Structure 1
Amino acid sequence: MSQLVEVKVPDIGDFSDVPVIELFVKVGDSIKEEDAICTLESDKATMDVPSSASGVVREVLVSLGDTVSEGSLLIKVDSGAAAAAAAPAAAPAPAAAEAPAAA
């Protein structure tokens, strides 16, 4: 079951209209909770913004140079896609275990 989760800028203190100086994700990327999405740079600090969800990135709603504030929408993540992607990866493991026994 797919569910799109909106990942927003968390509380970044008293900063607003902070520019995005780096993007670490693109549409189709698999990410985990706490993976860095982007880097923001204020006049006092540079900070990575972590993802609040795991899954597959379906939309990237910011670009380099955009300015964001607390609560700004960054990406949309399909949280159901992470479980679906993990299931096929587990299936080949038993086949690999049988191969040495047959040899």
Structure 2
Amino acid sequence: MANIEKILLPDVGDFDEIEVIEVIISVGDEVEKDDSIITLESDKATMEIPTSFTGKIKSISVNVGDRIAEGTVIAEIEVSETVAEESE
């Protein structure tokens, strides 16, 4: 049975909001834990944000140009029970 998890933007430092400049994933992509899924740009640097899960991307909640904050849902991922149990 599949488990759907939300991928949230982690704490990325002293920013209220930060701009999405690239969405690396697409719906249906298979990703591994720590794969980069989006790229963000602040005034001084760009950073890639990884996923904390292994599974299949079910939906994407952000677009290029969006300004997002810590805790924003980036995407939803279908995680298999085997993978979910390993992460607990």
Say whether the fold is shared (TM-score over 0.5).
yes
- The CA RMSD measured in Å over matched residues stands at 1.6
Structure-1-length-normalised TM-score:
0.76
**Unpaired runs of 5+ in structure 2?**
84-88
**Unpaired runs of 5+ in structure 1?**
84-103
2:38 aligns with: 38
| Structure 1 residue ranges (4+ consecutive) displaced by more than 4 angstroms after TM superposition | none
**Aligned-partner residue type, residue 8 of structure 1:** L
**Aligned-partner residue type, residue 14 of structure 1:** D
Deviation at 1:81, TM superposition (A): 8.5
1:47 aligns with: 47
Structure-2-length-normalised TM-score:
0.88
> RCO greater where, 1 or 2, for CA within 8 Å and sep 6 or more?
2
**How far does the alpha carbon of each residue in 1:25-83 deviate from its partner, in whole angstroms, 9 at most, with x for none?**
01000001100010000102210000011100000000110111111100000002897
Deviation at 1:16, TM superposition (A): 2.0
User: Is structure 2 residue 62 aligned with structure 1 residue 62?
Assistant: yes
**Aligned-partner residue type, residue 75 of structure 1:** A
Aligned pairs, number? 83
Identity %: 37
3-state DSSP class of the match of 2:2? coil
2:25 aligns with: 25
If you compute each CA radius of gyration, which structure gives the higher value, 1 or 2?
Answer: 1
Between structures 1 and 2, the one with greater helix share: 1
3-state DSSP class of the match of 1:74? strand
